[in-house]
């Protein structure tokens, strides 16, 4: 699947949004019902056909069964601006956050402030904390914590990939000569980043290579007892499409503030190593389980 990047931004939103919404549930029939339902598409599971166990197995991918909370992947992100600042921290602290079999060699932490335009999800802001590490010989980026202000994005990310998203208020955007990223959680500022706006261009091939580094998350789904995990897996994911339009760097600053619910300041800044502002289109594919912590060997 490729993004229709040759279309206008509005056309892309309409085209991709309709396609994703129509694919959101296999339960919806292809005809509308003009009755007291108001003419909505009526799920066949409500239309009188008994829902058998086999029917559940065939139709289920998200809840509610008859009206899933989100569309099936892949997920597109269009004209997405971002501000990412990477810094070196303490190796022992990072190793306490990164689960084996991932290996940390150089304790580089990246904080990304993102503005998402996502058909089927909506427009929203997101924040991601990443740690550079290795899965075998492959360089990957482990994400211990993310924050978004869109409930659909949080449910989709947590349930499908295992992205560790919490609800908060990230922001990113231009303010005069600066590009600013902020993260607020429960009314408190947790992170604040700034860089000189479009100061120096970065080679697009180099920036694209960095964006193609796979991500890894620790997906945990509790069992019905609320105490033990039903799922505990390392999930690898990546973008199948990275269409960068712009990439910039420049002078930058980063401040972190202690917060017990979003403890990103627990990894102190020892040295800022890179700064990047990008704009591009991305297509995020379903993930792959690379390690199962509950599997008995």
pLDDT tens readout for residues 245-266 = 999 999 999 999 999 999 999 9
Q: Give 49's pLDDT tier (boundaries 50, 70, 90).
A: confident
Q: Would 140 be classed as within a structural domain? A: yes
Based on the number of CB atoms within 10 Å of its own CB, is 260 exposed (0-12), middle (13-18) or buried (19 or more)? exposed
Over residues 119-144, mean pLDDT:
97
Q: How many domains does the chain have?
A: 2
Residues 167 and 274 in one domain: yes
35 and 106 co-located in one domain: no
Question: Could you please report the per-residue DSSP string of 110-144?
Answer: EEEEEEEEETTTEEEEEEEEEEEEEETTEEEEEEE
pLDDT of residue 120: 87
Omega prior to 286 cis, within 30 of 0: no
Tell me, yes or no, whether 108 lies in a domain.
Answer: yes
pLDDT bucket at 20, cuts 50 / 70 / 90? very low
Assess whether 131 and 32 both reside in one domain: no
**Domain endpoint, select from 33, 59, 85:** 59
CATH number reported for the structural domain that contains residue 257 in this entry:
2.40.400.10
Cα Rg, the chain, nearest whole Å: 21
Contact 207, 247 (CB under 8 A): yes
Q: 41 and 80 share a domain? A: no
pLDDT at 115 exceeding the cut of 90: yes
The secondary structure of 259-287 as a DSSP string is: -SSS-GGGS--SEEEEEEEEEEEEEEPP-
Weakest mean pLDDT among 32-41, 96-105, 201-210, 262-271: 32-41
CA neighbor of 237 nearest in space, from 220, 208, 212: 212
Asked if residue 22 is part of any domain, the answer here is yes
pLDDT of res. 40: 60
Q: Are residues 25 and 102 in the same domain?
A: no
The reported pTM is 0.84
Dist. CA 66–CA 243, nearest whole Å: 35
The predicted model gives 269-275 an average pLDDT of: 98
Which residues are designated catalytic?
165
Q: Give the residue numbers spanning the domain of 82.
A: 75-292
Residues 159 and 233 in one domain: yes
User: Model confidence over 171-224: pLDDT tens digits?
Assistant: 999 999 999 999 999 999 999 999 999 999 999 999 999 999 999 999 999 999
**Within a domain: residue 231?**
yes
Q: Is residue 297 part of a domain?
A: no
Q: Is 50 exceeded by the pLDDT of residue 137?
A: yes
pLDDT at 232 over 50: yes
Same structural domain for residues 138 and 41? Answer: no
Q: Is 66 a member of any domain?
A: no
- Residue 116 within any structural domain of the chain: yes
* Two structure tokens written together for 202: 């970065």
Residues 175 and 39 in one domain: no
Contacts of 10 (CB under 8 A, 6+ apart): none
Q: Are residues 247 and 120 in the same domain?
A: yes
């Amino acid at each position: 699947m490729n993004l229709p990047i040759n279309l206008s931004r509005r056309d892309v939103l309409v085209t991709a949004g309709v396609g994703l919404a129509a694919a959101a549930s296999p339960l919806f029939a292809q005809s509308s019902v003009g009755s007291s339902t108001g003419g909505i598409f009526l799920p066949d599971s409500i239309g009188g056909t008994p829902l058998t166990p086999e029917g559940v197995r065939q139709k289920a991918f998200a809840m509610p069964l008859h009206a899933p909370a989100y569309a099936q992947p892949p997920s597109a992100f269009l004209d997405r601006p971002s501000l990412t600042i990477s810094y070196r921290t303490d190796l022992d602290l990072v190793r306490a956050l990164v689960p084996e079999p991932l290996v940390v060699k150089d304790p580089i932490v990246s904080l990304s402030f993102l503005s998402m335009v996502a058909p089927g999800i909506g427009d929203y802001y997101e924040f991601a904390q990443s740690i550079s590490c290795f899965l075998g010989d492959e360089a990957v980026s482990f994400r211990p914590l993310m924050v978004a202000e869109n409930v659909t994005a949080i449910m989709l990310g947590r349930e499908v990939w295992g992205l560790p998203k919490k609800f908060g208020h990230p922001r990113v955007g231009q303010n005069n000569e600066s590009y600013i990223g902020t993260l607020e959680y429960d009314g408190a500022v947790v992170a604040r980043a700034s860089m000189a706006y479009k100061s120096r261009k970065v080679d697009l091939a180099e920036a694209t290579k960095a964006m193609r580094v796979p991500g890894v998350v620790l997906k945990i789904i509790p069992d019905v007892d609320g105490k033990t995990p039903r799922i505990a897996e390392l999930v690898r994911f990546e973008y199948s499409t990275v269409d960068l339009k712009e990439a910039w760097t420049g002078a930058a600053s980063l401040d972190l503030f202690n917060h017990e619910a979003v403890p990103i300041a627990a990894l102190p800044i020892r040295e800022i190593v890179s700064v990047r502002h990008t704009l591009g289109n991305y297509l995020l594919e379903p993930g792959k389980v690379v390690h199962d912590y509950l599997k008995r060997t």
